[in-house]
Chains A and B, each alone.
Chain A
């Protein structure tokens, strides 16, 4: 058996006090990270000094106001929402597939959402309707389609085959990639520019206008999470056992898929491909507070937001004044964790 060191001295088996303490600590950590994120930037504007000026009744300079309120603040909120959305989506997918290896990036949900977004960018002009809502909406539909397809392919009689799930995810991601290729080949120069910036995966383009479109979708996805916690806990016993516990299994599954598609779709639409947040965050939390989704889902939202803000600060600082795409930072940190997860799981050889 694999020994889990941090869980050895656990006499009562009740991890909920520890989980509550952890949630409180994460709230404080998020506040600190958010403040730090506001303070860090190429322009060298200090929010504390600005706050001091404002309290003293002094006029705030135009330059500082723009940097703080129109550049850093929307970026902060975007980072928090995207991080929370990706991490919660990971936790929900893992609960739905009953497998800790499920992640929107790995199993192709992000690719499906990306295909939807690319479709909208390239073909959006041909449609009589749409406007700014079209890209996140199309990303949502793409993510939803892939999640539904994946669940249908990899789940038989209430049990999910890990191998089928991962392999089908690769196939679907490749298919979505091919679709994106076709769209890119059709795109004109202005669209190509949009696509390239979007594809880099960055919070750099965050603005109030984009947030106004994507934030409601991400918030809707996050708002579904509390209603899923009990169902996902029961589902870890299998679909039949969950039904016997009084859970409406089909409803939980449908809501889970919709919530993931909304969160991932909007997150991908606004920030491009940011991977591994959904796998690293729930995994770390499970080690610390156990797999109870009543604590795991809010914890994932908080830690995901912290992690993404941290990664964003790193991406802004390491090659300053240029910026590293944030997707590179999360992949550098997340891919080794994914590998470690694969290696320490026994019996995966015959999956």
Chain B
């Protein structure tokens, strides 16, 4: 079983401590969601896990320190979807998605066809020739997701799972596309890959996540199944407001409802 671990992780940005004493783990085959209030360190944790930020402590992929891996080797094993990024030059959507064809992905026999299939999966079929800069925010987000998917198209290669790191993948999407993208992430995990996603929407998280990591004030407040993490008391403490968790029929899934101030 492939596992990504962070042990006693601490991150400071311009000498201000953002994360401290963070223990985190995620398993391949699962969709792990990181949630928490604004400024709790969700994105910082994700960026440390992907090697973007300097940290103290350890980040291990199957027991091997991530910091010792070469960028080329890392790019083979994981792909990262950052928050919205402006693009410097007028690339077409197809050209942007093709940037994901790196390493062995570029050499695969079906490489030429992958971008089209990835665009189909994110619901952007027929957008190949459009200029990326002229797309809406949500469309740009999904085009980047297609690029990331192309990079790690097969969730498992030679017995080794690959990982997707998604920073608020559904932030600027409508509800239909939110569900489509979460389903896609879920499918990647079910096929044996690992997915770690920073999420804002607690209900969407409860609906899809296999494991939830709730952050607050730069620490992990709770870690486990959504049912265990999303309780009235834990959530109300993390978000500093009254939240009521219910389990409505038909499937008894967790549903979070804010309580109006009396």
Contacts and interface: CB of A to CB of B under 8 A. Distances in A.
Given A1-B134, A13-B130, A98-B88, A244 B99 contact: no
A248 interface: yes
Contact of B74 (A4, A7, A246): A246
Contacts of A177: none
Interface in A223-270: 233-238, 240-241, 243-248
A149 B91 CA distance: 29
Interface stretch (B76-84, B192-200, B249-257): B76-84
Interface in A1-28: 1, 4, 7, 10-15
B93 A246 contact: no
B129 A238 contact: no
A90 interface: no
Interface string A20-58: 000000000000000000000000000000000000000
A322 B52 CA distance: 59
A291 interface: yes
Contacts of B94: 12-14
A275 interface: no
Given A12-B129, A238-B85, A243-B51, A290 B71 contact: no
Nearest to B91: A291
Nearest to B130: A13
Contacts of B131: 4, 7
Contacts of B137: none
Among A235, A244, A246, A290, max chain B CB count under 10 A is at A244
B71 A13 contact: no
Contacts of B100: 245
B103 interface: yes
Given A240-B52, A240-B82, A243-B51, A13 B92 contact: yes
Contacts of A291: 88-91, 95
B70 to A, nearest CB: 8
B129 A246 contact: no
Contacts of A100: 88-89
B99 A234 contact: yes
B80 A241 contact: yes
Contacts, number: 90
Interface residues of A, number: 31
A99 interface: yes
Given A13-B95, A290-B95, A244 B87 contact: no
B129 A244 contact: no
B75 A246 contact: yes
A292 interface: yes
Interface in A268-318: 286, 290-292
Given A237-B96, A246-B102, 14 more contacts: A7-B131, A12-B94, A13-B128, A100-B89, A237-B87, A244-B74, A245-B75, A245-B102, A246-B73, A246-B103, A286-B89, A291-B89, A291-B90, A292-B95
Interface of B: 47, 50-52, 71-76, 78-80, 82, 85, 87-96, 99-100, 102-103, 127-131, 134, 151
Which 3 pairs, one residue from A and one from B, show the smallest C-beta to C-beta distance?
A246-B75, A13-B94, A291-B89
16 contacts: A1-B134, A11-B128, A12-B129, A13-B93, A13-B128, A98-B88, A100-B88, A236-B89, A240-B82, A241-B80, A244-B50, A244-B80, A245-B99, A245-B151, A246-B74, A286-B89
